[in-house]
Amino acid sequence: NAGVTQTPKFQVLKTGQSMTLQCAQDMNHEYMSWYRQDPGMGLRLIHYSVGAGITDQGEVPNGYNVSRSTTEDFPLRLLSAAPSQTSVYFCASSYGGTNEKLFFGSGTQLSVL
Amino acid sequence: QQQVKQSPQSLIVQKGGISIINCAYENTAFDYFPWYQQFPGKGPALLIAIRPDVSEKKEGRFTISFNKSAKQFSLHIMDSQPGDSATYFCAASRSNYQLIWGAGTKLIIKP
């Protein structure tokens, strides 16, 4: 049982480049979400999904795009990377379409130069 | 009204002592208050959570104390161990709306 798997673990981008952070879970969780973690700021919700085909914006959605075509996968796309997007990104999932008892991946450390 | 304020930012406790981390919120509609534990290089993991219908919840050495009138809740770690050294986050949410997170407390337990 792998839980929540994020790839890659580390990534360096140049300003303006685009990329996709991958997230997959094998727990059949309906709720999936993306957070960014910055020092001294806790975690901030970027986008979330309560099921396949359903996505919604969180607190800081600008510059990011998501889709949910399957229950298992929830990729996060950076459309045109900016230095302000340098952060650690976490994908999280939970059972039953709620944000209670979140299971987190190990994170992706992203640097935008 | 959406903020959750967490203190202290960092905390050093001797092995065997009690670690106490505090959080305060403003939105009285919040009805779910979890604590997450995060080790370096890992994602946060749910430690314990409480709803406002009880004033205290205990799981092993970890206890949440909840004061609805003061809009505060705290995490107590009894008999703190070096393995408890981690960053702890409090959070709050209202009826499955998004979690609002505190800024985190880095806890170091000295052997």
pLDDT of residue A111: 97
Q: Is B34 on the interface with A (CB under 8 A)?
A: yes
Of the candidates A41, A48, A104, the beta carbon closest to that of B43 is on: A104
For the stretch B39-59, pLDDT in tens is 999 999 999 999 999 999 999
Tokens of A75: 């990729």
> Which positions 53-82 of B are in contact with A (Cβ < 8 Å)?
none
Give contacts of B46 with chain A, Cβ < 8 Å.
101-102
Q: Is B45 on the interface with A (CB under 8 A)?
A: yes
Of B43, B104, B41, the C-alpha closest to B75 is: B104
Residue in A41, A48, A99 to test binding to B, most B beta-carbons within 10 Å: A99
- Measured between alpha carbons, how far is B7 from B82 in angstroms, rounded to an integer? 20
**Residue B28 region by backbone torsions, left for phi larger than 0, else alpha for psi between -120 and 50, else beta:** alpha
For the stretch A52-96, pLDDT in tens is 999 999 999 999 999 999 999 999 999 999 999 999 999 999 987
Of B77, B54, B78, the C-alpha closest to B67 is: B54
